[in-house]
Every structure is written in structure tokens, then in C-alpha cells.
Amino acid sequence: MVVLSNPGLDQISLLRSPKVIACSPCVPVIDLSKPDAAASVVEACEEFGFLKVTNHGIPVELMQRLEAEAVKFFSLSPVEKERSGPPDPFGYGNRKIGANGDIGWLEYLLFAVASKPLSYTFMDFLREPAACSFSSALKEYLAAVRKLASKVLELMAEGLDIEPRDVISRLVMDENSDGIFRLNHYPPCPVLRGYNYGLTGFGEHTDPQVISVLRSNNSTGLQISLKDGSWVSVPPDEESFFINVGDSLQVLTNGRFRSVKHRVVASGWESRVSMIYFFGPPLAEKIAPLPQLMGEGEHSLYKEFTWDEYKKAAYKSRLADNRLGLFEKREVTDDQRL
């Protein structure tokens, strides 16, 4: 039994550290410069709902610049950081995730991102002259990751052999698209040193959006759930990006792509910094299987809904809830599901 003497940890769940499984075949690695990239992306989305992309065209120096700015912010005193919070839902947050009781061993900055012109939530700390470098790095990073997301989504369409090639990407590149950007900091937890346990940094969940594009420093902690329910650790790679299939993309492909369940486990030794750009469609956009993917006589597994409806339902739920379950057609048989 592990006894924690730190009262600040009392409500955060402990997780036994899983055996680390090698990157291949558990985490597909896709070289975006290769001619078979489109087919490989589709295969990874079907099997795992998760992939790592290399040769993505974004300079490592840009990633490191934004990471350094994030570390600078998270190194401020609690009083200084809290001037940009509490999150409502955007702003600075500490441990509390959402409004429904989820907590984790992390602090974060959460921004809403508008597409045209590219802009994001203004926060108190950005008023400081020293924050100019943060703003510059953030805007440049967001613009670069938008291009990467568009490329990956168009590769998905190519691999699925559907037209037009921007049938998915235009949903999240629209001037009214609903984007969110999150900077997470998982500080080390010295109390856990010497134990074979980690602390819940961000509890298990799927992402509601179409896709999420993640980059982190070289610290471990990210885990994904495989089809058999087992959890595996994702080896870090600060020079690459990781792509998560979200719930909306699972619906758009009528279940062909798998929305990946994932979590972050904080350790006793390492500080983890991650940057995630969540790509959602316009609020009024109807989310339903793409007609180009529906075979003759194939039925939709899901009720039609708008992104606004799904987003509201997601924000009323706990992290680990099966959000899509509310929108599944109950009359769908197992044969139809297959």
C-alpha cells in the first residue's frame, strides 16, 4: 500500500506503472515524405486511432521556442500565474480539469483559437512586455501546426480514396472552426520516488474534436489504450508530432477510424510539458458519416448531431465517460457495426 503524506495529492488517483512496450508496433510511425504515407495514415487510424508523424516540415527550433516560453510561464509564482485564471473555460488552471470533478497532477493554459484571422484567447500575463516573445512563438507555432493538420487530414482522404481531398480538412480550416490550444505542465512528484506508481496527470479520455496534434518534451507519461483494453506507454520524441483521432472523426468515418483513449501519468522524477492543438469544426456543423464512405445499404452507427450539441454534452461529462454512447443508434446490430 502506498501512503502519501502530501495532502494536496489526496484526491488524485495512483496508477501502477505498466510494463513499457516498444514503440513498434504499438505506435505507428509515419514518414510524411514517403509515397505510401496516405495508406499508412489510414491503417494507423483504423487500428490505433493514433500515430506519430516525422518529416512534418515544422522546425524543431520553433517547438523548442514555445516550450521554453511555456516553462518560463509555469516557473512564475502561483500568484502571478493565477492572475490569468481561473479557467472559464479558458485561462490558467491548476489540478482541476473541467467543471465535473476531474482533477490531475498538472497545471495548464487553455486558449480558444480563431481561424481567420488567426488569434487566440487573451490572458492577463500577455499584457506584460516580456510576454511579446511568448505571443510571437505561439502565433507562429499555431500557424505551422494548422498546415500540418490540414496535410494529415488530406492524406486521410487520399488514403480513403474519397473526393474532394479537403472534405475533412475544410471542416477544421473554416473561418468559423472551433479550435482549442492547451499547454500542459506536469511537475515531478518527489513523494512517489521509489514506488512503482505514477500519479494521474490527466485521466483517461478520448478527444471530442476531429483530430488533435500533440508535441511534448522528452519526458514520458503519455499512454494509449489498445483495442484489447491494455495500456501502453508512448516513447517521447520532442522532434515529432503525435496525432489523435477524435470522436468526431470516428463518426465521420462511421466507426472505421477509432477515437483513441489516452491518459497522462505523472512521475516522481520528470517534468513533462505538452502542447496540444485540438481541431474542431464550426459549431453549427452537422457531424454524420461522410456519404463518400458509406457502402450500399450501410447504416449510420450514430444519430446526426451538430458539433455544438456534442461539445455541450462532452463538457457536461466526466473525462472517462463514453460520450459517443449518447449518440449511438441503439437499434444498430452487431453485424451492422462490423
Instruction: State pLDDT tens for residues 249-264.
Output: 999 999 999 999 999 9
Instruction: Tell me the CA distances in angstroms from 218 to 19, 232, 237, 270, 338, one per residue in order.
Output: 19, 17, 6, 9, 39
Per-residue pLDDT tens for 158-209? 999 999 999 999 999 999 999 999 999 999 888 777 666 778 999 999 999 9
State the pairing for strand pair 29-31/50-54: parallel
Hey, what domains does the chain have and what are their CATH numbers? Answer: 14-316 (2.60.120.330)
Query: Which percentage of the chain shows pLDDT scores above 70?
Result: 89
Eight-class DSSP state of 204: E
Residue-wise DSSP of 234-280: ----TTSEEEEE-HHHHHHTTTSS-PPPEEEEE-SS--EEEEEEEEE
- Other CB atoms within 10 A of residue 91 CB: 18
- Positions of the chain with pLDDT under 70: 1-25, 194-196, 331-338
